[in-house]
Chains A and B, each alone.
Chain A
């Protein structure tokens, strides 16, 4: 059985779902950040799969760009989390409800 577009897309959907569910059900902000990375990875996989299928190089360019964006996002996100931890001694998402006000 040859490995084709459907397989790539199925894998990407599975990874995205894991990331999404993880983001929603976990309370640890660091884990939630990792889940976001999972979703981004799934998106990258979809880009790459279509790029290869359609023979359009633009998809690869987007993948590379997404790496850069994801790296920046993680860097900033972790920095914020470290700062939050220093102030609150906790990274539980359900305790960070200042957005409500």
Chain B
């Protein structure tokens, strides 16, 4: 264990957020943007330096700690503010600061015309701070602070253009849905504390990851409950069934926000949490089965919804939900390394796709409807090329990054199929095919064919500035080559990432019993399904548009409406939860409490009482001096008699 300063990686973006946020409009927008980029860039450099130091240590000792100070002492509970860098958090901080930096730079171009630029960049820096706190915090409560912090920033940035009611509503929806999950995560923390505090030596940092891992066996009796409660938190943050509903609506925020928070980093926090506490999850096979089932169900469910969305960002949002489903499913089958690997490659190609979509939206003057796009290939050559790479990467065609990590997950799911989840790998393959299909649909509708926008918009379409295209190109390179570091042994690679992560992740280390032949065979099958999805998408939407029309017509009735209306889940939640709650609040809180008790009894009651008292007392004030004197004399007499009797 090595001590070195990690705190500045986390605190520099916080300082940036505080500085930009306090000065706000007194700061020129561009300056605020460059400052924000500089803090994240500095943080990235420090992170690289720290990770290099970490890599220099022997594999078994790869932990770097930095204790800033005592946070609180409460009975036998003792918490430090400290940071903990191990191979897992190393991957996370590089992704967060690296992709974060690229998206900050992109925002300089994308957000340039906005008047609220300093506010935007202050929130973005605050987000980077919270996310780094989440992945570097050395104990669970500190992680939870970051966890809530990223939720707050997500809310602030979704409602960034709060002038429109829909954006404010989307922000609230995201925040409240996340609160439901956070409630579970918090209960899990309480349960861990209640189990460990009485049995461990007082003063030992019970929630520190090192201590937790050492004493995981003590948690075995409550492991299922803890894991399921934590998974509720994961489902909220990482948008799994049944709490995924906020993520598609979160697209109301600016596109760089969708790329950074709602695709590359924040939503993967749930996956990070499960990987971080993998030693706890593996204690409960029941919880793992739930995790795997929910994950793979989400992957398929969201992929089908993405087929029928017409908003370019909504397609990508459901695609994100689907990919997160893969990562969660990977955790569920114990393939935590594959989950983290896919988390990383997904951060590259999904950020790329979102930023590309942002470039398209920018060129189309804030038009997001795929139906009025088309033919952008020649107008936006860089965006087209990078989006094409992103699409092929997410579809899972070798040798791009998406293929390696997704194939790794599918392979692990296939191995787990013998362990009791026979449907996992099949559903995963199906969802992979759908992914390739809807991504090709998006690409064709946006870039090929004739442009369907109005002549006025069409005349002004042009490629985005360099601040936007350079991050696109860098991300495209990463989307192509990012898979290289995790290329599995079975396919002739080095699997460096898996080896790098092995010391911190629980579960089967490698899969010695699986033959390389099997792995190669499965890779061929998954490549074939990706290519099949892509070519089918191209055929239907580019070559034979009548096929798409026929498909819509054939599915006219229920199926198409079911998909385009997202299985009516929002409506179901509205009918089952939202409206009953609202009615109850209306009757109990508004009519009874507010109108009845407070307004009626207390406020109006006080007024009526004063009025009544006045109407009685006014009879006494008749202006007759003799009457006053009479009352006065009577009073003196009564008082005197009283005093006499007392004395």
Contact B623 A24 (CB under 8 A): no
- Chain A residues in 8 Å Cβ range of B630: 24
In whole Å, how far is B615's beta carbon from the nearest beta carbon of chain A? 15
A2 within 8 A of B: no
Q: How far is the CA of A27 from the CA of B629 in the complex (A)?
A: 12
A93 within 8 A of B: yes
Contact B633 A99 (CB under 8 A): no
Q: Can you list 11 pairs linking A and B with CB atoms under 8 Å apart? A: A24-B630, A27-B626, A32-B626, A93-B625, A93-B626, A96-B625, A97-B622, A97-B623, A100-B621, A100-B622, A100-B623
Nearest-neighbor residue (CB-CB) of B623 within chain A: A100
- Chain B residues in 8 Å Cβ range of A101: 623
Partner of B624, one of A23, A25, A93: A93
Determine chain B's interface SS by DSSP, over half rule: helix
Contact B623 A23 (CB under 8 A): no
Q: How far is the CA of A23 from the CA of B539 in the complex (A)?
A: 114
- Chain B residues in 8 Å Cβ range of A96: 623, 625
In whole Å, how far is B637's beta carbon from the nearest beta carbon of chain A? 9
Partner of B629, one of A24, A98, A100: A24
- Chain B residues in 8 Å Cβ range of A93: 624-626
Task: List residues of A (83-101) whose CB comes within 8 Å of B's CBs.
Answer: 93-94, 96-101
A20 within 8 A of B: yes
In whole Å, how far is A76's beta carbon from the nearest beta carbon of chain B? 16
- Chain B residues in 8 Å Cβ range of A100: 621-623
Q: How far is the CA of A67 from the CA of B175 in the complex (A)?
A: 83
Q: Total interface residues on B, using CB and 8 Å?
A: 9
Q: How far is the CA of A20 from the CA of B624 in the complex (A)?
A: 16
**Residues of B bordering A, CB below 8 Å:** 621-626, 629-630, 633
Contact B622 A24 (CB under 8 A): no
6 interchain residue pairs of minimum CB distance: A100-B623, A97-B623, A99-B623, A24-B630, A93-B625, A23-B629
- Chain A residues in 8 Å Cβ range of B621: 100
Partner of A97, one of B624, B629, B633: B624
Nearest-neighbor residue (CB-CB) of B636 within chain A: A20
In whole Å, how far is A30's beta carbon from the nearest beta carbon of chain B? 13
Q: How far is the CA of A97 from the CA of B623 in the complex (A)?
A: 4
Q: How far is the CA of A23 from the CA of B629 in the complex (A)?
A: 8
Q: Using a Cβ cutoff of 8 Å, how many contacts connect chains A and B?
A: 29
**Residues of A bordering B, CB below 8 Å:** 20, 23-27, 32, 93-94, 96-101
Contact B629 A94 (CB under 8 A): no
15 extra interchain contacts, Cβ-Cβ under 8 A, other than A24-B633, A99-B623?
A20-B633, A23-B626, A24-B626, A25-B626, A26-B626, A32-B626, A93-B624, A93-B626, A94-B626, A97-B622, A97-B623, A97-B624, A100-B621, A100-B622, A101-B623
- Chain A residues in 8 Å Cβ range of B624: 93-94, 97
Nearest-neighbor residue (CB-CB) of B622 within chain A: A100
Q: How far is the CA of A8 from the CA of B570 in the complex (A)?
A: 97
Q: How far is the CA of A36 from the CA of B625 in the complex (A)?
A: 13
- Between B621, B625, B629, B633, the greatest number of chain A beta carbons within 10 A of the residue's beta carbon is seen for B625
- Chain A residues in 8 Å Cβ range of B623: 96-101
In whole Å, how far is A44's beta carbon from the nearest beta carbon of chain B? 18
Q: How far is the CA of A95 from the CA of B629 in the complex (A)?
A: 16
Q: How far is the CA of A27 from the CA of B624 in the complex (A)?
A: 10
Q: How far is the CA of A46 from the CA of B41 in the complex (A)?
A: 97
Q: How far is the CA of A94 from the CA of B628 in the complex (A)?
A: 12
- Chain A residues in 8 Å Cβ range of B625: 32, 93, 96, 99
In whole Å, how far is B432's beta carbon from the nearest beta carbon of chain A? 90
In whole Å, how far is B252's beta carbon from the nearest beta carbon of chain A? 63
Q: How far is the CA of A96 from the CA of B627 in the complex (A)?
A: 12
Q: How far is the CA of A27 from the CA of B626 in the complex (A)?
A: 8
In whole Å, how far is B617's beta carbon from the nearest beta carbon of chain A? 13
Q: How far is the CA of A99 from the CA of B633 in the complex (A)?
A: 19
Nearest-neighbor residue (CB-CB) of A20 within chain B: B633
- Chain A residues in 8 Å Cβ range of B626: 23-27, 32, 93-94
- Chain B residues in 8 Å Cβ range of A27: 626
Q: How far is the CA of A101 from the CA of B625 in the complex (A)?
A: 13
Q: How far is the CA of A61 from the CA of B100 in the complex (A)?
A: 94
Nearest-neighbor residue (CB-CB) of B633 within chain A: A20
In whole Å, how far is B634's beta carbon from the nearest beta carbon of chain A? 10
Q: How far is the CA of A99 from the CA of B629 in the complex (A)?
A: 14
- Chain A residues in 8 Å Cβ range of B629: 23-24
- Chain B residues in 8 Å Cβ range of A94: 624, 626
In whole Å, how far is A63's beta carbon from the nearest beta carbon of chain B? 21
- Chain A residues in 8 Å Cβ range of B622: 97, 100
- Chain B residues in 8 Å Cβ range of A32: 625-626
Q: How far is the CA of A93 from the CA of B623 in the complex (A)?
A: 10
Q: How far is the CA of A25 from the CA of B626 in the complex (A)?
A: 7
In whole Å, how far is B633's beta carbon from the nearest beta carbon of chain A? 5
In whole Å, how far is A20's beta carbon from the nearest beta carbon of chain B? 5
In whole Å, how far is A66's beta carbon from the nearest beta carbon of chain B? 18
- Between A20, A24, A32, the greatest number of chain B beta carbons within 10 A of the residue's beta carbon is seen for A24
- Chain B residues in 8 Å Cβ range of A99: 623, 625
Q: How far is the CA of A89 from the CA of B630 in the complex (A)?
A: 26
Q: How far is the CA of A24 from the CA of B312 in the complex (A)?
A: 94
- Chain B residues in 8 Å Cβ range of A20: 633
In whole Å, how far is A88's beta carbon from the nearest beta carbon of chain B? 15
Q: How far is the CA of A94 from the CA of B630 in the complex (A)?
A: 13
Q: How far is the CA of A101 from the CA of B618 in the complex (A)?
A: 11
In whole Å, how far is B641's beta carbon from the nearest beta carbon of chain A? 14
In whole Å, how far is A12's beta carbon from the nearest beta carbon of chain B? 14
Q: How far is the CA of A58 from the CA of B630 in the complex (A)?
A: 32
Q: How far is the CA of A98 from the CA of B623 in the complex (A)?
A: 6
Q: How far is the CA of A98 from the CA of B622 in the complex (A)?
A: 9
